[in-house]
Chain A
Amino acid sequence: DVKVTQSSRYLVKRTGEKVFLECVQDMDHENMFWYRQDPGLGLRLIYFSYDVKMKEKGDIPEGYSVSREKKERFSLILESASTNQTSMYLCASSDRGGNQPQHFGDGTRLSIL
């Protein structure tokens, strides 16, 4: 069965900290994505990766970076956390086929104090 695993369900950090959110998929998918979800705004794409070591900016990349050293793992990094980065973060992966949906992890609810 398809599985996308995010390292933490809930996380509390302080402003200025460097924060790592990890995501692992077991489906051998080429594409991986990081979104943040805020009420009334739907899902906004932060970064995505279509291959190992490849990354592309999404709609809201400011304040974030990503790393994909292995195909199954895609990390989101908040370089210096700020309170406006308090949000739900969702990781997803998809196969290359055009009719293939994204498969999502359970999400990480991140609070920055």
Chain B
Amino acid sequence: AQKITQTQPGMFVQEKEAVTLDCTYDTSDPSYGLFWYKQPSSGEMIFLIYQGSYDQQNATEGRYSLNFQKARKSANLVISASQLGDSAMYFCAMRELLYNFNKFYFGSGTKLNVKP
């Protein structure tokens, strides 16, 4: 079974609008971490935001926030006030902290295009 599922291969958003990128995960580990990365066309992977399974609050980093719904096993990334520079691939990833501590599982990614 897929550990991380990103169901949106591609998305468009108008500049200055907010956009939500979906991510669902599958784990029986009670302790885990969720990560989002951005990959521009230049290829480097940039870490954006982290959410721990026991964190009470949704994580925020500047224009990025994570809509964490533990019961639904979803960890959607919300980008507010989109900018042209946000056009990139976005990957959701998970690290299981008890069972497979040293492995990170990645989704297949969502390509975001921001329109002027």
Q: Is B9 a contact partner of A40 (Cβ separation < 8 A)?
A: yes
Q: Specify the chain A residue showing the minimal Cβ separation from B109.
A: A42
- B93 partner residues in chain A, CB cutoff 8 A: 102
- A101 partner residues in chain B, CB cutoff 8 A: 35, 37, 47, 50
The residues in A between 58 and 113 inclusive whose CB is less than 8 angstroms from any CB of B are 58, 88, 90, 92, 94, 98-99, 101-107, 109
Q: Is B103 an interface residue (CB 8 A)?
A: yes
The range of chain B's interface size is 20 to 34
Chain A min CB distance to B47 (Å): 4
Q: Specify the chain A residue showing the minimal Cβ separation from B43.
A: A107
Q: Is B44 a contact partner of A104 (Cβ separation < 8 A)?
A: yes
Q: Is A102 a contact partner of B47 (Cβ separation < 8 A)?
A: yes
- B37 partner residues in chain A, CB cutoff 8 A: 101, 104
Q: Is B108 a contact partner of A50 (Cβ separation < 8 A)?
A: no
Chain B min CB distance to A85 (Å): 18
> Which of B66-74, B76-84, B94-102 is near enough to bind chain A?
B94-102
- B25 partner residues in chain A, CB cutoff 8 A: none
Q: Is A34 an interface residue (CB 8 A)?
A: no
Q: Is B9 a contact partner of A98 (Cβ separation < 8 A)?
A: no
Q: Is B102 a contact partner of A92 (Cβ separation < 8 A)?
A: no
Please measure, in the bound complex, the distance between the C-alpha atom of A92 and the C-alpha atom of B93, giving whole angstroms. 13
Please measure, in the bound complex, the distance between the C-alpha atom of A35 and the C-alpha atom of B73, giving whole angstroms. 25
Q: Specify the chain A residue showing the minimal Cβ separation from B50.
A: A99
Q: Is A98 a contact partner of B101 (Cβ separation < 8 A)?
A: yes
Q: Is B31 a contact partner of A98 (Cβ separation < 8 A)?
A: yes
Chain B contacts to A: CB under 8 angstroms:
9, 31, 33, 35, 37, 42-45, 47, 50, 52, 91, 93, 95, 97, 101-104, 106-109
